[in-house]
Structure 1
């Protein structure tokens, strides 16, 4: 991740179409409407429904975050090592330069070729290749040349100064070391923010699991009731309504976090982009970009399905 640089969307839980219920909103109306959907009412509607949801979206997101954390740590360590190696080099004396080039862009493009003419510059470029460009994911994620990477990570003026001088001057050495240290610090900060997201996912999964366990226990209880079980079914129906409200609350909490991310890149802040941090983590994957909200929606849908089945059981007189 190159870090050199100088109103939140709402994702409500999808609810059933209110028009399907007409103008009747009371408990008896909802149960009656559910009954009219079936020609034959199933007698044992809740049998076999008490199964736990596997929170795949949240767990996959946590795995994604862990992998990105390892990549960022590798880059942090690489920049720290590069800074240490450059710091140990002796800069060229004042006034030591190689022949000039045709402008700063030409200098950036030729910095890696200039390295062949000066031992100090060769040492700098070798150190960069052996550290920053040697992280396992470098080719797949960046695949940049040395000049491109130096410009992106440490600033275009750094690469231009190296090429235009043709050697490692004291000023260039100082800039390389300080900016590499800053690049490492930026990645340390990013790791901390990723850790926050991983912990947030853990908490949300715990909250969702608690709702799902209660859903399961309600259905198991109703399945074990003998006789008509009307009172028990009505109680379960009401409690399932409460679980859906808890899903709404969890979704609202996640939306608040989306609106106030752990960090916002400078460019994203300039454009008012609140979700840049989450896009950075999840947009490159095939999974939902908002895994917690997708998971809440899935659980809420399951709760509504269970509630509808209980309503049909009530309407069937059992």
Structure 2
């Protein structure tokens, strides 16, 4: 990541944008979690009594029509009615009805089911005969897993927001001091003033390095929590893909640190000039 020189990045603007991105993801994920909870509630209400389509049932009209010789759970030859329609309507009116679903996923009903629950559920969810009580329980388990994944993402995003807020506030404070030194006329200062400048700039440099280490530790924690390998996209890359920098706070750390080091070099040059 390259180091910029003065005037440098607008620290407050980058921090604010980063916070808004994380907060947006938290809000979106909370809504997805609630949608899956609503979907689970709708699934629990579906009748999967084992005698629903048994021989002799009075509910003859509701039985699925199968072609002779067709395996009822093959996914071929069955009609999509009754239970499968209830599942479709439940998913569409909860998860797929989220206002950002189309822009975020741009998926059909079948594609969304496959992504969330795996291809093995396609047959079960498109054929009434296959949606047995055990299949219903398995689907509810998958829905619970989807909710837990959102829970995990929420925890990571909340930790990320806390880190961005804390590190961002420190960087904003340092950047304000940096602007003071950037406006100073070093050539007009005496040795004592320049030496004080140098000492304080060294402390600011240490502070920037500490903030960089804090951010890197947070990013490593994200990777460890989610069991990500080095070739996997990590949380900042996922969250900040649309921003100019995938690691905006690390970018700021580098930018401000570069400005502090530039000022330190100017101070050293000015100190030498006092002896000439």
Residue 51 to residue 175, structure 1, CA distance change in 2 (3 Å): closer
Structure 1 residues 81-90 or 173-182, which shifts more? 173-182
- Distance, in Å, in 1 between the alignment partners of 2:192 and 2:234 is 50
Instruction: State whether structure 2 residue 218 is matched by structure 1 residue 260.
Output: no
Q: Which residue of 1 aligns with 2:107?
A: 144
What is the RMSD computed on CA atoms of the aligned residues?
A: 3.6
1:180-238 superposed Cα distances (whole Å, 9 cap, x missing partner):
12212221221111101100111111221332344355667x66x9x752210222023
Residue 60 to residue 50, structure 1, CA distance change in 2 (3 Å): closer
- Distance, in Å, in 1 between the alignment partners of 2:200 and 2:36 is 55
TM-score scaled by length of structure 2: 0.78
By how many angstroms is 1:63 displaced? 1.4
Instruction: State whether structure 2 residue 200 is matched by structure 1 residue 239.
Output: yes
How many residues align? The count is: 263
Aligned partners of 1:52 and 1:213 also within 8 Å: no
SS state of the match for residue 134, structure 1?
Answer: coil
- Distance, in Å, in 1 between the alignment partners of 2:139 and 2:32 is 16
Q: Choose which of 164, 168, 184 in structure 1 pairs with 2:147.
A: 184
Instruction: State whether structure 2 residue 242 is matched by structure 1 residue 281.
Output: no
- Distance, in Å, in 1 between the alignment partners of 2:232 and 2:169 is 26
1:91-125 superposed Cα distances (whole Å, 9 cap, x missing partner):
25447374277998x83xx89x943xx22221111
1:257-278 superposed Cα distances (whole Å, 9 cap, x missing partner):
2223266545x3xx45476233
Q: Choose which of 215, 223, 239 in structure 1 pairs with 2:178.
A: 215
Instruction: Give 5+ residue unaligned stretches, structure 1.
Output: 1-10, 17-48
Q: Choose which of 198, 219, 222 in structure 1 pairs with 2:161.
A: 198
Q: Which residue of 1 aligns with 2:37?
A: 80
By how many angstroms is 1:313 displaced? 4.1
By how many angstroms is 1:15 displaced? 10
TM-score scaled by length of structure 1: 0.69
Q: Which residue of 2 aligns with 1:159?
A: 122
Residue 54 to residue 171, structure 1, CA distance change in 2 (3 Å): same
- Distance, in Å, in 2 between the alignment partners of 1:51 and 1:258 is 24
Residue 139 to residue 219, structure 1, CA distance change in 2 (3 Å): closer
Instruction: Give 5+ residue unaligned stretches, structure 2.
Output: 54-62
Q: Which residue of 2 aligns with 1:54?
A: 11
